[in-house]
Structure 1
Amino acid sequence: MQIRRLDRANLTPAYGIEGERLQPWDVLNAPFEGAWCLVRAGGESTPHSHHEYEIFIAMRGSAALVVDDAEYEFVAGDIVHLPPGCTHKVVNPSTEDFEYYGIWWDSGMSEGFLTRHQKEATP
């Protein structure tokens, strides 16, 4: 068992927001990737789309999730599934930071996980 603590002082910019990626983490073999994400007060992520499936879990605060030009309220405790190919961004019009965790996966990540798992299981 290993706990990895969030390092808020060293978040990395990506997609117009700040975050800490799950990988690399040498003890973790997972069929997905993830990141802790921080959208600063008044900020927003860069609109984008990709081939991966994605889940966002709202952790703290409130924001708007814009998916294919439709806007949805996104608040702490909400979980959203984003299908491949949709254009999306997170907009934080509030005066407080918004935090969420994003998890994404595709068939290549799953295949890599199975290969690594089989190698680990073979004596």
Structure 2
Amino acid sequence: MKPISTVVLFLFTVVIFSQTKKVKEGIYRWADHPVKFSENRESRIILAGTSPHFEYLGIHASTQLKGAKPSTLHANEDIEELIIIKEGEAKVTFDDQSKILKAGGVILLLPQQLHSLENVGDGNLTYYVMRYRSKKPMQIERGLSNGGSLRLNPDDLVFKPSERGGGRPYFDRPSAMCERIEMHTTQLNKKGPSHAPHKHIETEIILMLSGQTEMTIDDKEYSGGAGDFYFINSGSTHGVRNPTGEPCSYFAFKWY
């Protein structure tokens, strides 16, 4: 891996502006974020700021329209990224190998990992990008020894049924920026809670894939649908539930 830093100008501006701004707990709705247009691309800034474990945390969504030029090979000097494919097909290249990821595909990119993404589907490619820098020193060797950068499709993983629906475990490991980062999907086929309200040291995001959910975070109530996500700070009591009985599904990922 080789450190080469390429950052879109508006994202660089967001990083500078948000150095002392705390990310707010609650819900972030897909429809609430304005779109920035450029040649064959669209971008949405969703949030940026600090969090209990990160001195910088930013999330945006990017769309490569059909026919868009692929991003050139680039890397982040001291930023780790978690990328989630929302729609379309992406050709993801790093370590001189490429893999096609579809909706629900996930990429964990260590700092200094050369990579590129290309829209190879018949329509638009849209993906979420979570960029973060730990308050603790970066540990590249820890990330490499625990699997390095990775790319996963849902079909690579085993669906584990449960009484309420089921889910897929994506990973649970240390990385260069996290002592632990864990990710899975959950499907709820019945009305009611996924589990009892609880709290933990990790900060967590619930990203809605389909259907409707309701969420309680420290006695405040929220509701969300596909494309929306809930942000839960470390130590906050929270619980998610299916309010309708119609199937719903979501990503859950947490870290410290």
What's the TM-score once normalised by structure 1's chain length? 0.69
The aligned amino acid for 1:107 is: S
The aligned amino acid for 1:80 is: I
1:49 to 2:75 alignment: yes
Give the alignment partner of residue 64 of structure 2, picking from 39, 42, 46. Answer: 39
CA RMSD of aligned residues (A): 3.0
Cα distance in 2, alignment partners of residues 71 and 59 from structure 1? 19
Runs of 4+ in 1 over 4 A off after TM superposition: none
The aligned amino acid for 2:71 is: S
SS of 1:22 mapped into structure 2: strand
Q: For 1:71-97, what per-residue CA distance to the aligned partner results, in whole angstroms no more than 9, with x for missing partners?
A: 111110111111111111111122300
1:10 to 2:14 alignment: no
Structure 1 spans left out of the alignment, 5+ residues: 111-116, 118-123
Partner residue of 1:86? Answer: 113
By how many angstroms is 1:4 displaced? 3.3
Cα distance in 2, alignment partners of residues 18 and 68 from structure 1? 27
Larger RCO (CA under 8 A, 6+ residues apart): 1
Alignment of 1:22-37 (within 5 A): 22-24=46-48, 30=51, 31=54, 32-37=57-62
Partner residue of 1:19? Answer: 43
Structure 2 spans left out of the alignment, 5+ residues: 1-25, 138-232, 234-256
Q: Which is richer in helix? A: 1
What's the TM-score once normalised by structure 2's chain length? 0.36
By how many angstroms is 1:9 displaced? 6.6
Cα distance in 1, alignment partners of residues 95 and 41 from structure 2? 19
